[in-house]
């Protein structure tokens, strides 16, 4: 089979099915955008939208930080950083800090719980305690207020608690604050990915317009490919021949496409005439006399036979020098063509296939 012919026929197939392909692509794009919207909103529980909005404001601020080191009574260094997270996030401690600062920030913790952002080894939350394993220095990060100023005031209140010595699990221990509370990020995100930041809330936010556009474009591409594939398979299941990929021919055969919209009948006659043969058989499932009538009266065509099947040739005492198979789009059966192509190959003569579009 000719690759060029197949590509031409595939292009004709796409043009013929362009409306179906377009509708299929649009349908898949709509499903993709709808699915994105559905997945982003259907699993949002009550209170999560408000919690997301609140934390979006909180996580957008500059955190306050302080650094300290804790030495135990026996001179060893204290190393449990997570216990500070849990203790300082306790409701009673939060209330104590709120009374000391006049800043209400407990909604930060409630919002994290509403979004199921629990403190784990993979997420430290807005109030985090991180220990540097090489120096054993604790960095306490406070990202719990609505403004950077609130974060700094809250950090100072927690520093006062640390220096007061009134922490149950650190009695008889020495807490040395190395860096006083400052409004600055001391922990790089490249290393500490567990820290709370605006990107933490991306899974809970409604998709943005660019996100929908990306899904729409992806849906159009997938829909186009899927519709073309399904239409191609549906086309192959048909009994009639329409395109050049609906049937097969050998590389030794001559295969020609004849477009009735661009060519006249004489061109088709020339396709059959060349090269000149004394005994030529033309096979056509549909009537071909109307097409060939102008040349049948010419002298060199006295040996031309027009048959519906090669089986009819068995009744004629003549051996063909060339067999021409006319394929009419949307009229010629695949089974008929397959039978004639097999029988024609048994004669060991040139075979010419003319596909009339």
pLDDT, position 73: 84
Tens digit of pLDDT for each residue in 99-112?
999 999 999 999 99
Q: What 3-state class would DSSP assign to 61?
A: coil
Report how far Cα 303 is from the mean position of its chain's Cα atoms.
Answer: 61
Query: Position of tokens 């020609």?
Result: 256
The residue among 117, 51, 114, 125 whose CA lies nearest residue 88 is: 125
pLDDT, position 47: 60
The predicted model gives 245-266 an average pLDDT of 79
Tens digit of pLDDT for each residue in 265-322?
667 777 887 887 778 889 998 866 555 554 444 444 556 788 888 888 877 767 888 9
pLDDT, position 218: 92
Beta strands in 132-208 (DSSP E): 138-142, 174-183
pTM, rounded to two decimals: 0.53
In order of 253, 289, 325, 331, 339, the CA distances from 284 in angstroms are 17, 10, 6, 10, 12
The residue among 138, 147, 170, 188 whose CA lies nearest residue 61 is: 147
Tens digit of pLDDT for each residue in 192-224?
878 888 888 877 766 656 777 888 999 999 999
Beta bridge partners of 256: 354
Question: Does residue 345 contact residue 252 with C-beta atoms inside 8 Å?
Answer: no
pLDDT, position 24: 93
Residue range(s) occupied by CATH 3.40.50.300 in the chain:
244-356
pLDDT, position 208: 59
Weakest-pLDDT range from 26-35, 194-203, 299-308, 337-346: 299-308
Which CATH class name applies to 244-356?
alpha beta
Q: Tell me the average pLDDT of the chain.
A: 85
* Beta strands across the sheet bearing 304-307: 254-258, 351-356, 322-328, 280-284, 304-307
Say which residue, 242 or 5, is predicted with more confidence: 242
Which run of H or of E encompasses 256? strand 254-258
Query: Position of tokens 């800043």?
Result: 103
Q: Report the percent of the chain where pLDDT is more than 90.
A: 41
């Amino acid at each position: 089979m000719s690759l060029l012919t197949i590509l031409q026929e595939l292009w004709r197939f796409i043009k013929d099915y362009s409306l179906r392909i377009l509708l299929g692509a649009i349908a898949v794009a709509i499903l993709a955008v709808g699915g994105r919207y559905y997945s982003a909103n259907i699993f949002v529980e009550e209170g999560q939208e408000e919690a997301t909005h609140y934390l979006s404001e909180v996580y957008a601020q500059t955190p306050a930080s302080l650094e300290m080191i804790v030495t135990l009574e026996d001179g060893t260094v204290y190393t449990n950083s997570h216990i500070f997270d849990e203790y300082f996030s306790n409701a009673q401690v939060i209330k104590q800090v709120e009374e000391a600062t006049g800043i209400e920030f407990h909604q930060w913790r409630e919002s994290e719980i509403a979004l199921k952002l629990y403190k784990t080894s993979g997420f430290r939350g807005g109030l985090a305690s991180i220990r540097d394993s090489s120096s054993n220095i604790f960095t306490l990060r406070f990202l719990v207020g609505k403004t950077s100023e609130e974060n700094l005031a809250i950090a100072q209140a927690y520093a006062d608690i640390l220096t007061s010595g009134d922490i149950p699990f650190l009695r008889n221990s020495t807490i040395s604050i190395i860096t006083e509370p400052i409004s600055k990020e001391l922990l790089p995100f490249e290393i500490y990915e567990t820290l709370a930041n605006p990107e933490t809330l991306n899974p809970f936010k409604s998709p943005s317009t660019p996100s929908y556009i990306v899904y729409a474009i992806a849906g159009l591409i997938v829909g186009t490919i899927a519709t073309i594939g399904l239409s191609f398979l549906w086309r192959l299941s048909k009994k009639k021949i329409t395109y050049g990929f609906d049937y097969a021919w050998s590389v030794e055969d001559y295969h020609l496409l004849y477009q009735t919209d661009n060519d006249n009948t004489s061109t088709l006659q020339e396709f059959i005439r060349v090269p000149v043969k004394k005994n030529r058989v033309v096979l056509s499932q549909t009537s071909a006399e109307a097409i060939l009538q102008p040349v049948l009266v010419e002298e060199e065509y006295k040996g031309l036979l027009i048959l519906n099947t090669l089986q009819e040739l068995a009744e004629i005492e003549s051996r063909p020098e060339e067999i021409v198979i006319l394929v009419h789009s949307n009229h010629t059966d695949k089974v008929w063509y397959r039978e004639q192509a097999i029988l024609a190959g048994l004669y060991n003569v040139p075979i010419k296939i003319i596909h009339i579009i």
